[in-house]
Amino acid sequence: MDPPTPSNPSLILVVDDDHGLRFLVTTALEQAGFDVIEAQDGHAGIMAYLEHHPDVVLMDVMMPGMDGFSACAELRGLPGVEHLPILMMTGLEDEESITRAYDAGATDFITKPINYALLGHRVRYMCRSSQITEQLVTSEHRLSNAQRIARLGHWNWDAVTNEIDWSDEALRIVGLAGTPSESSLDEFLSRVPGNDKHRVRQWFHRAIALGEESDLNHCILGHDNSERYIRQQVEAILDDTGQVAHLYGTLQDITELRQAEARIRRLAYFDSLTGLPNRESFKESAKQALELAKRHDRQGALLFLDLDNFKRVNDTLGHNIGDLLLKEIAALLQQAVRVSDVVTHNVFKDKAYDLARLGGDEFTILLPLISRPEDAAVTARRIMELLTQSIQLNGHDVVVTPSIGIAVFPRDGDSVDGILKHGDMAMYHAKRQGKNTFVFYDDSMNQAALKRLMIENQLRKALDRNELSLHYQPQVDTFSGRVCGLEALLRWHNPELGLMMPLEFIPLAEETGLMLAIGEWVLATACRQTKAWIDSGAQIAHIAVNVSVLQFVQKGFPACVARILEETGLEPQVLELEVTESLLMKDAECAVQTLQALKTIGVQLAIDDFGTGYSSLAYLKQFPIDRLKIDRAFIQDIDQDRDNAAIASAVIAMAESMALKVTAEGVETDAQLGFLKATRCDEVQGYFISYPLSTAEMSRFLAKTEEPGSDKTGQSAYRAVGE
């Protein structure tokens, strides 16, 4: 500490009734570089202190009026005077005075007669130690403030007394501030809630036994008895024998930190809309479940659920209602799976299932332990039952159904991604099977999916590589057997897949959108070829071309047909478009408009596969169609099956009454033909007359049925077949 300098002298107050002594003391101190003020008794001394705030007080004990003991005691009682150095001047060997002086709060004493040569040193030392004390007090104050702000407390356990000395902040944190007995471990443990008590006691005992650094997070009851969370860290001080003599510990209130962590966890692992676990969270649970199943040779199941008509709800009622629906579904699913606890026993006591939302309208239900795959089906069935009830959303009645794919693990996959993929594939199969159903994954799905992928890849290149072709099947007049028309049927020759029939690839072409380009190619090719045949003299009244639903629903379809007719030069009335009954029934209103637009162009319209699509007769009347084609299924046993015979006759009679032409498909025998002749079906088509033929074969076929020479009346195809 710096000695007093002229610019920074310490101020000393000398209180003594002896004027001469005061003078000598003052002179000695001034020579040592101090500033000095004087007072002649205790009372004057206090007044002088209050006015000048000296750094050190030298006080005689015996004075008239207020003596030195009373003045010292009164000074000490003033605020901020706790650490002021007060030096009492007593008579030599006046032990009683010395004791009284300390009792009154004196810092030290100095005996008379005073050694003036040493006085300056003595006082300087007092100044220095007072400054150090002050700094210490300030830094302690700062430290405790910082600890209070950081909610950080500290404690010290003494091995000899087995007591704990807590810092103020530590006591506040553990809710013991202000309690009288607060030094024992038991007292502290009384603040630790039940579950954690044992753990904390063990931790303390381990720290004492091992003398190692360690930490522990646990719950504690705060000052208002609310549950707080603290982090403790401990360090041991060993004695000479290597035993723990002290434990120094810190404890910090980390409740807010934990809450923030929990919030972050919620955001990272939960779906904010439904509150359900999200994909990440699901994957973690699934990983555990899978490992457990593998380790214990058990099985679990994943239900992969997708809502069937969610997109429509979203599109028609808006996203707000869509969101509401998802929340509602989440609640219903929770209800449905909760009951599954019964199924999954109580090995996973608190968690018999894990419900999660992967995103959009996709949910997963994980059953970590099932006895048989059938258990998963029970849950799937319950979900379907619960979901199919109608749900009220803001005044709208909404009905949703689920498609559920089930993967059983580890059988159907030994990684989480594998199970998810297979659950998804099975769900996709459920959709293809007409939705609102559940399907178990099995390996053939994998094979089928691979095959589909391969077909799709090849199909994308089919047009460019000229792998598509058309076959033509004649349609003949039932009575004369003369060829009236042809139906164009698509074929696909692929070097790897071989000959592919339309039913093997058209659904895929529709799903992938490739059918638009393919359909246009079919239409153009059939029209161009027919025009060529007609130009070379063949009598073809109509060329029937099948239209895919994908083409039909395109806004520009009628315009496309018109353009192709224009480009190929085929008369519109020669083209007959075949649309299926189910296509028309899907959206009858819209279908009527498109059919009318096509009629305006002048083409003929036929309903294909009639009888299989549950047509409403009322609608049938609205459709501007020209022909019905009775499906092969009704023709097959027409000569034996009375029901089929009745249906075919009824359709033919109805068509006649509605002035529609009728074609029977799939005529394979003479007997069938006989029946159709008897019921006056207009035209027939089938293997009995001819298989579908390639372009070259059809050219030859047409040449055979056209009589060379003067009149070009068509010959009976029956005869042509016979030849």
Positions touching Mg ion (CB under 5 A) are 546, 578, 608-609, 665
Q: Site for ligand C2E (CB under 6 A): how many residues?
A: 24
Q: What is the enclosing helix (H) or strand (E) of 75?
A: helix 68-77
> Residue 104 and residue 76: Cα distance in Å, rounded?
8
Min CB(456)–Mg ion separation in Å: 24
Which does residue 60 touch among ligand C2E, Mg ion, none (CB within 5 to 8 A, set by kind)? none
Which does residue 503 touch among Mg ion, ligand C2E, none (CB within 5 to 8 A, set by kind)? ligand C2E
> Residue 674 and residue 234: Cα distance in Å, rounded?
103
Min CB(657)–ligand C2E separation in Å: 24
Selected from 117, 257, 501, 559, the binder of ligand C2E by CB under 6 A is 501
Assess contact for 298 and 364: CB atoms under 8 A.
no
> Residue 605 and residue 706: Cα distance in Å, rounded?
26
Annotate each residue in 420-449 with x if it binds ligand C2E (CB under 6 A) or - if it does not, as one string: ------------------------------
Assess contact for 347 and 322: CB atoms under 8 A.
no
- 648 binds ligand C2E per the rule CB under 6 A: no
Among candidates 196, 202, 184, 264, which has minimal Cα distance to 230?
196
- 686 binds ligand C2E per the rule CB under 6 A: yes
Min CB(672)–ligand C2E separation in Å: 9
- Give me the helix-helix angle, 279-296 and 255-269, nearest 10°: 90
Nearer to ligand C2E, 173 or 603 (CB): 603
* DSSP-derived secondary structure for 601-625: HT-EEEEEEETSS---HHHHHHS--
- 644 binds ligand C2E per the rule CB under 6 A: no
Assess contact for 652 and 442: CB atoms under 8 A.
no
SS3 labels along 290-318: HHHHHHHCCEEEEEEEEECCHHHHHHHHC
Min CB(583)–ligand C2E separation in Å: 10
> Residue 280 and residue 354: Cα distance in Å, rounded?
12
Nearer to ligand C2E, 438 or 472 (CB): 472
Token pair of 49 as six digits: 């202190």
- 522 binds ligand C2E per the rule CB under 6 A: yes
Selected from 15, 36, 484, 506, the binder of ligand C2E by CB under 6 A is 506
Binding span for ligand C2E by CB under 6 A among 173-181, 495-503, 528-536, 651-659: 495-503
Tell me 566's DSSP state: H
Selected from 490, 562, 570, 648, the binder of ligand C2E by CB under 6 A is 490
Nearer to ligand C2E, 412 or 487 (CB): 487
Min CB(389)–ligand C2E separation in Å: 38
Residue 193: partners with Cβ closer than 8 Å, 6 or more residues away: 219, 220, 221, 227
Binding span for ligand C2E by CB under 6 A among 95-103, 195-203, 457-465, 684-692: 684-692
Selected from 665, 682, 683, 706, the binder of ligand C2E by CB under 6 A is 665
Nearer to ligand C2E, 576 or 609 (CB): 609
Min CB(487)–Mg ion separation in Å: 6
Min CB(473)–Mg ion separation in Å: 9
Core vs surface per residue 565-584: b (16+ CB within 10 A) or e: beebebebebbbbbbbbebb
Which does residue 251 touch among Mg ion, ligand C2E, none (CB within 5 to 8 A, set by kind)? none
Min CB(610)–ligand C2E separation in Å: 10
- 668 binds ligand C2E per the rule CB under 6 A: yes
Classify strands 299-307 and 402-409 as parallel, antiparallel or unpaired: antiparallel
Min CB(529)–ligand C2E separation in Å: 13
Which does residue 686 touch among ligand C2E, Mg ion, none (CB within 5 to 8 A, set by kind)? ligand C2E
> Residue 517 and residue 416: Cα distance in Å, rounded?
39
> Residue 380 and residue 403: Cα distance in Å, rounded?
9
Binding span for ligand C2E by CB under 6 A among 17-25, 107-115, 251-259, 661-669: 661-669
Nearer to Mg ion, 71 or 607 (CB): 607
Min CB(398)–ligand C2E separation in Å: 34
Min CB(493)–ligand C2E separation in Å: 14
Nearer to Mg ion, 124 or 629 (CB): 629
- 42 binds ligand C2E per the rule CB under 6 A: no
Helices (H), 433-488: 443-462
Helices (H), 211-296: 255-269, 279-296
Min CB(421)–ligand C2E separation in Å: 32
Selected from 577, 692, 701, 714, the binder of ligand C2E by CB under 6 A is 692
- 474 binds ligand C2E per the rule CB under 6 A: no
Nearer to Mg ion, 207 or 468 (CB): 468
Which does residue 489 touch among ligand C2E, Mg ion, none (CB within 5 to 8 A, set by kind)? ligand C2E
Which does residue 405 touch among Mg ion, ligand C2E, none (CB within 5 to 8 A, set by kind)? none
- 4 binds ligand C2E per the rule CB under 6 A: no
Binding span for ligand C2E by CB under 6 A among 348-356, 401-409, 498-506, 532-540: 498-506
Residue 147's CB: how many other CB atoms inside 10 A?
A: 20
Query: Which 576-635 residues touch ligand C2E, going by CB under 6 A?
Result: 578, 608-609, 632
Core vs surface per residue 157-172: b (16+ CB within 10 A) or e: bebeeeebebbebbbb
Query: Which residues, listed in sequence order, are joined to residue 663 by a DSSP beta bridge?
Result: 629, 683
Min CB(629)–Mg ion separation in Å: 5
Core vs surface per residue 528-553: b (16+ CB within 10 A) or e: ebbbebbeeebebbbbbbbbbebbbe
Binding span for ligand C2E by CB under 6 A among 135-143, 217-225, 545-553, 693-701: 545-553
Binding span for ligand C2E by CB under 6 A among 228-236, 305-313, 381-389, 502-510: 502-510
> Residue 153 and residue 254: Cα distance in Å, rounded?
12
> Residue 429 and residue 703: Cα distance in Å, rounded?
48
- 352 binds ligand C2E per the rule CB under 6 A: no
Tell me 141's DSSP state: H
By CB neighbour count within 10 A (0-12 exposed, 13-18 middle, 19+ buried), where does 319 fall?
exposed
Query: Which residues, listed in sequence order, are joined to residue 628 by a DSSP beta bridge?
Result: 607, 662
Residue 399: partners with Cβ closer than 8 Å, 6 or more residues away: 309, 388, 389, 390, 391
Nearer to ligand C2E, 270 or 521 (CB): 521
- 687 binds ligand C2E per the rule CB under 6 A: yes
Token pair of 541 as six digits: 């009244």
The two counts, helices (H) then strands (E), for the chain are 27, 26
Which does residue 500 touch among Mg ion, ligand C2E, none (CB within 5 to 8 A, set by kind)? none
> Residue 189 and residue 61: Cα distance in Å, rounded?
52
Nearer to ligand C2E, 376 or 522 (CB): 522
Helices (H), 151-236: 168-173, 185-189, 194-210
- 683 binds ligand C2E per the rule CB under 6 A: no
Nearer to Mg ion, 408 or 488 (CB): 488
Nearer to ligand C2E, 274 or 690 (CB): 690
Min CB(578)–ligand C2E separation in Å: 6
Residue 344: partners with Cβ closer than 8 Å, 6 or more residues away: 352, 353, 367, 368, 369, 370, 375
> Where do contacts with ligand C2E occur on this chain (CB under 6 A)?
473, 489-490, 501-503, 506, 519, 522, 546-548, 578, 608-609, 632, 665-668, 685-687, 692
